[in-house]
Amino acid sequence: MAHRPKRTFRQRRAHSSDSDGAEEQSSEPGAPEEQTAQGLTEEGPPSGGGRVEATARRVRGRGRGRGRGRVWASSRRSAGAATRTEGGLKSRIVDLSTDEEDETAHSLENKDDQSSSSNSSSSLEEEFSSVVNIPDAAFIQAARRKRELARAQNDYISLDVKHTSAIPGMKKNSGDDPESEPDDHEKRIAFTPKSQTLKQRMAEETTPRNEETSEESQEDENQDIWEQQQMRKAVKITEGRDLDLSYSSEPQTVKKFDTSISLPPVNLEIIKKQLNNRLTLLQDTHRSHLREYEKYIQDVESSKSTIQNLENSSNQALNFKFYKSMKIYVENLIDCLNEKIVSIQEIESSMHALLLKQAMTFMKRRQDELKHESTYLQQLSRRTETSTNESLAVDEKTQWILEEIESRRSRRRQARALSGNCDHQEGTSSDDELSSADMNDFQKTQDDISQDHKKIFEDVHDDFCNIQHILLKFQQWREKYPDSYYEAFISLCIPKLLNPLIRVQLIDWNPLKCDAIGLKQMPWFTSIEEFMASSMEDSKKEDSSDKKILSAVINKTIIPRLTDFVEFIWDPLSTSQTTSLITHCRVILEELSTCANEVSKGKQDLLKSVVVRMKKAIEDDVFIPLYPKSTVENKTSPHSKFQERQFWSGIKLFRNILLWNGLLPDDTLQELGLGKLLNRYLIIALLNAIPGPDVVKKCNQIAAYLPEKWFQNSAMRTSIPQLENFIQFLLRSAHKLSRSEFRDEVKEIIPILVKIKALNQAESFIEEYNLDDLKSVIKEV
């Protein structure tokens, strides 16, 4: 159409609106003098151009949806539209005719494609075929030839999307060649709205003031015809959409009730029964709701009464205040102990290292001196005049060690003489003297550790470091609220809380010293005893767990410390150390073991360490050399003195082992004292000795150290199996002495046999040698 009347445009959502808009934008109104020519191309269905254009618009309205993806084919339409806007009136008419031809051909091609793919589009075309005459193939071919001739003038088809640069002679040839208008695929689609609407542009084109009244009436007629055509097209498209929508929404529609279906018969009884069932369900639900309501009312009343009781009771507030204060106190106590435990462990380690160093010094010195003295005596017995210089060098080194040994022995003799202890055997004293310099260093280090020990809790209040004050806090809890006290198992917590404080008091405690303070005299011991005594006063708690606090403290704190002393510091050859250690162990394991199950594990560990340490002493420290009798006959010879010292050193260890009687099992003591020490070392040394008063004295000493508990059975006629070698040695010695000048010494041997329950052997010996005066000894047993 070259000219369309004024109208109001609306944006349409259908595909036809897009095609119409493109048509309307591409068409522009002509000048007043050209309205006749334009009218020929626009008016009515009879004109060929109008039919072609109407057909093209309808076909593009249906098929433009599929052609939208081809952007390159419609990208130059805007350029063509701009060219037509700039060109003259004649150029615009020619462009319109060319566009109509292109659109006609394009619509026919789209029509062929759409007819093969969609039956609905063909039905619409048949409806419009009665109104619009579709051009035949000859007309379409003629239009194509015209377009090809127009392009052939330039000898090439431009690929440039810009119309002005792709076809250089377009503007000047647009008036001459009506088919110089670019094709649809060369045009650009305008994706942005124009600055002016079509109505505005039509208003600008129809601005001439000299239009005649006839032209205005013709324009009104054209407007009416055009609007009728648009309305018919819109009605058809709307009907098509309604069909599609109704088809797509058909599965979702609600089925109407079919009155032809027969329903089961309904009578009053069925309705009444259903109503009764419904009423029963509602009544049950109502009753359950009533029960829940009553329960909630009771809960509310109970909560109100509880709140009122708590508000009116001052004791609960006091209880809460007490428990809160105890909680805060215990937390602060634990924080304090956690902070101080590191210092406690460091000082304990320092003291333990100091004592261990001293013990290792004594042990190493004893073993070295024993080695050098034995080597010297061996060299002395087989000395030759060869290699004098070498032997002299060895003698100088050994002589210096021997002089040190002899100087210490002389000092001990002088000390015993001053004390009046003349009945002392060489070798039974503990060689634990230190030089003055070593003693000063040891004492200085020990004093420094003690000073550090006193500074541990110097910045702490007594309520958090004094055991008596701490126990007083828990005693108040036990007296005020005994139920909560015992339910909290405070008796299990107190030993753990007191452990660091007790360890502080045990830092300078040495159980191997004779002058060491006893456990019962320690402050922590007395405080715990008082706490337990106050607990026992409560008759209702006769089986109170507080009675086990002391045994738990000993098991967790004292026994591990004693075990460390036994394993690393204790010297079994020292009688003083052994006696002091046994004293503390007896107090711990016998008098304080109120609960055997709790102390059993710690006790087993302690006694096991004792046995292991004594075995090691027998293997490492017992050495009794054997020399020819000619060498040892002289009691003043170095060989005889050395052998005597070593024998009495073994007797000393034998005694120290048997001192554990009552703490260690009898089988263990018999294995250690009799099996490993007496039969393996002492009996061999006695067999090598010359029978006489010295031998009898040694045998008497051995028998004196044997525990009487082993021989308390009056029915015993034979001794224990481990003493069989000792009994045979006594009988052999008695036979020899009875034939020697020491006949009176036999009377000393018979009581030894009687003491160890070797009664059958003693009677046989008395009968053999007619010792009737000794029969009374056997009868007394």
The 10s digit of each residue's pLDDT in 642-686 is 999 999 999 999 999 999 998 999 999 999 999 999 999 999 999
The 10s digit of each residue's pLDDT in 97-112 is: 444 444 444 444 444 4
Instruction: Tell me the backbone φ, ψ of residue 661, rounded to 5 degrees.
Output: -60, 130
On the 0-12 / 13-18 / 19+ scale of CB atoms within 10 A, 245 is: exposed
Q: Is the pLDDT of residue 14 over 50?
A: no
Q: Write down the pLDDT at residue 534.
A: 85
* Contact (Cβ atoms closer than 8 angstroms) between residue 538 and residue 579: no
What is the value of pTM for the model shown? 0.59
d(CA 408, CA 435) in angstroms, rounded, equals: 10
Determine the angle formed by the axes of helices 35-42 and 89-117, rounding to 10 degrees.
Answer: 10
Q: Write down the pLDDT at residue 295.
A: 95
Q: Is the pLDDT of residue 8 over 60?
A: no
* Count of residues making up the chain: 781
Per-residue pLDDT, averaged over 334-338, amounts to 95
d(CA 269, CA 366) in angstroms, rounded, equals: 119
Q: Write down the pLDDT at residue 233.
A: 82
d(CA 200, CA 600) in angstroms, rounded, equals: 114
Q: Write down the pLDDT at residue 722.
A: 92
Q: Is the pLDDT of residue 68 over 50?
A: no
Among 31-45, 420-434, 525-539, 711-725, which is the least confidently predicted range?
Answer: 31-45
Q: Write down the pLDDT at residue 676.
A: 93
Q: Write down the pLDDT at residue 309.
A: 79
Q: Is the pLDDT of residue 334 over 60?
A: yes
502 or 248, which is more confident: 502
- Residue 621 in tokens: 């420290």
Per-residue pLDDT, averaged over 736-758, amounts to 86
Q: Is the pLDDT of residue 195 over 70?
A: no
* Contact (Cβ atoms closer than 8 angstroms) between residue 524 and residue 502: yes
Q: Write down the pLDDT at residue 433.
A: 78
Q: Is the pLDDT of residue 6 over 50?
A: no
277 or 237, which is more confident: 277
Share of the chain above pLDDT 70, in %: 66
What is the CA 696 to chain-centroid distance, rounded? 72
d(CA 409, CA 395) in angstroms, rounded, equals: 20
On the 0-12 / 13-18 / 19+ scale of CB atoms within 10 A, 63 is: buried
329 or 60, which is more confident: 329
Among 463-467, 547-551, 594-598, which is the least confidently predicted range?
Answer: 594-598
Q: Write down the pLDDT at residue 158.
A: 53
Residue bearing tokens 């952007």: 71
Closest of 44, 70, 53, 19 to residue 135, by C-alpha: 53
Q: Write down the pLDDT at residue 159.
A: 52
Side-chain-side CA neighbours of 695 within 13 Å: the count stands at 24
Q: Identify the top-confidence range among 138-152, 303-317, 340-354.
A: 340-354
Q: Write down the pLDDT at residue 219.
A: 76
332 or 600, which is more confident: 332
146 or 171, which is more confident: 146
191 falls in which pLDDT band (50, 70, 90)? low
Q: Write down the pLDDT at residue 308.
A: 81
Query: Positive or negative, the Cα torsion across 648, 650, 656, 660?
Result: negative
Q: Is the pLDDT of residue 130 over 50?
A: no
Q: Write down the pLDDT at residue 387.
A: 47
d(CA 276, CA 282) in angstroms, rounded, equals: 10
Rounded to 5 degrees, what angle do the CA atoms 493, 497, 500 make? 150
Q: Is the pLDDT of residue 455 over 60?
A: yes
Task: Give the contacts of 670 (CB within 8 A, at least 6 positions apart).
Answer: 710, 720, 722
Residue 87 region, left (φ>0) first, then alpha (ψ -120 to 50), else beta? Answer: beta
* Contact (Cβ atoms closer than 8 angstroms) between residue 588 and residue 554: yes
d(CA 687, CA 712) in angstroms, rounded, equals: 29
147 or 251, which is more confident: 147
Q: Write down the pLDDT at residue 344.
A: 95
Rounded to 5 degrees, what angle do the CA atoms 215, 218, 223 make? 125
214 or 262, which is more confident: 262
DSSP string for 150-174: HHHTTTS----S-HHHHSTTHHHHT
Q: Average pLDDT over the chain, rounded to whole? A: 75
Q: Write down the pLDDT at residue 52.
A: 39
Per-residue pLDDT, averaged over 568-584, amounts to 93
Per-residue pLDDT, averaged over 268-288, amounts to 93
Per-residue pLDDT, averaged over 595-616, amounts to 81
Provide the 3-class DSSP secondary structure of residue 349. Answer: helix
Q: Write down the pLDDT at residue 129.
A: 46
525 or 632, which is more confident: 525
Q: Is the pLDDT of residue 507 over 90?
A: yes
Closest of 63, 146, 130 to residue 97, by C-alpha: 146
The 10s digit of each residue's pLDDT in 749-771 is: 988 998 898 888 888 888 888 87
d(CA 73, CA 188) in angstroms, rounded, equals: 8
Q: Write down the pLDDT at residue 143.
A: 87
39 falls in which pLDDT band (50, 70, 90)? very low
d(CA 762, CA 752) in angstroms, rounded, equals: 9
Q: Is the pLDDT of residue 479 over 80?
A: yes
Share of the chain above pLDDT 90, in %: 35
Per-residue pLDDT, averaged over 679-697, amounts to 91
Among 67-81, 123-137, 198-212, 473-487, which is the least confidently predicted range?
Answer: 67-81
Q: Write down the pLDDT at residue 239.
A: 63
Q: Write down the pLDDT at residue 589.
A: 80
Q: Write down the pLDDT at residue 394.
A: 56
